[in-house]
DNA sequence: AATATCCTCAACCAAATGGTTGAACATAGA
DNA sequence: TCTATGTTCAACCATTTGGTTGAGGATATT
């Protein structure tokens, strides 16, 4: 079931440290150490975050010698994006309606 | 900070029951009881899920007498969608590059 | 007024999460 | 071979999460 992975993906995205790591990885490949560096947490804690991202399929790891090089993986975020996209249309309609209403109220005043 | 809300939004999306509730709400307004009905959990548990969605701003509640009518709220999912959109572009480029490379390899063989 | 309905709250529980520290492992460099 | 480096693992801790049950509040219904 595809739905199962969405649990992991959205949950992984639900922590600012992990989102920052993804942002970092969007620019270039990063070792676990490099990913950990910006944060005031222990190396082991950062390593756990990396593992969460990996379990969600958002990140893939290539072990080169003693360093682990990480890069983004495309599929799961695509899934999440498409899931949200189903609602995006709905919400866009609502936003348009809201905007129109506010405009009406403003014009009436 | 906008980032703070994204924590709540993604975390709220990270549970299948809550995503199913949102799917339900996309079709029409629902009372808490109606939202709870499809799930084999206690009413109180469902009520907690609703509260999580509400805290994330994904759902708004209108109390009418003793019933609480819920509807989707547009803004936070828009935020999440846009956040993912930044990476969607990135990943799409990667996918395109990958596809192009595969095509090249195929043509060369 | 009595009762049924819709929902929240409080207390509790087990499991997951996010953090720590210390040890261990594998590899690179002296 | 010895040591330094990059990373994981294990044990532990506090907090959060997702569930339960039982009680209670507010509103409809009779």
B74-98 per-position pLDDT tens digit: 889 989 999 999 887 776 776 677 6
Residues of B 69-88 whose CB lies less than 7 Å from any atom of strand C? 69
Q: Nucleotides on strand C with an atom closer than 7 A to protein CB?
A: 5-11, 17-23, 26-28
Cα–Cα distance measured from residue A9 to residue A13, given in angstroms and rounded to the nearest whole number? 6
Q: Has residue B1 got a pLDDT over 50?
A: no
Beta bridge partner(s), residue B106: none
Q: What is the DSSP string of A25-89?
A: HHHS-EEHHHHHTTSSS-HHHHHHHHHHHHHTTSEEEEEETTEEEEEE-SHHHHHHHHHHHHHHH
CATH 1.10.10.10 fits B2-108, yes or no: yes
Query: pLDDT at position B87, please?
Result: 83
3-class SS at B62? strand
Condensed to tens digits (0 to 9), the pLDDT of residues B47-68 reads: 999 999 999 999 999 999 999 9
Domain ranges of chain B: 2-108
The answer for B 27-86 residues in CB contact with A (under 8 A) is 72, 74-75, 77-78, 80-81, 83-86
Q: Report the pLDDT value the prediction gives residue A105, as an integer from 0 to 100.
A: 67
* pLDDT score for A1: 46
Per-residue pLDDT of chain A (109 residues; tens, 9 = 90+): 455 699 999 999 999 999 999 999 999 999 999 999 999 999 999 999 999 999 999 999 999 999 999 999 988 998 999 999 988 777 667 667 767 777 776 676 5
Cβ atoms of A12 and A53 closer than 8 Å:
yes
């Amino acid at each position: 079931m595809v739905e199962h992975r969405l649990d992991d993906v959205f949950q992984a995205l639900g922590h600012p440290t992990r989102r920052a790591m993804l942002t970092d990885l969007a620019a270039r490949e990063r070792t676990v150490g490099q990913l950990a560096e910006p944060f005031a947490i222990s190396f082991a804690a950062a390593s756990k975050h990396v593992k969460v991202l990996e379990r969600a399929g958002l990140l893939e790891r290539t072990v080169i010698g003693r360093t682990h090089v990480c890069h983004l993986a495309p599929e799961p975020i695509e899934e999440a994006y498409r899931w949200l996209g189903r609602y995006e249309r709905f919400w866009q309609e609502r936003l348009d309606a809201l905007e129109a209403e506010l405009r009406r109220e403003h014009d009436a005043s």
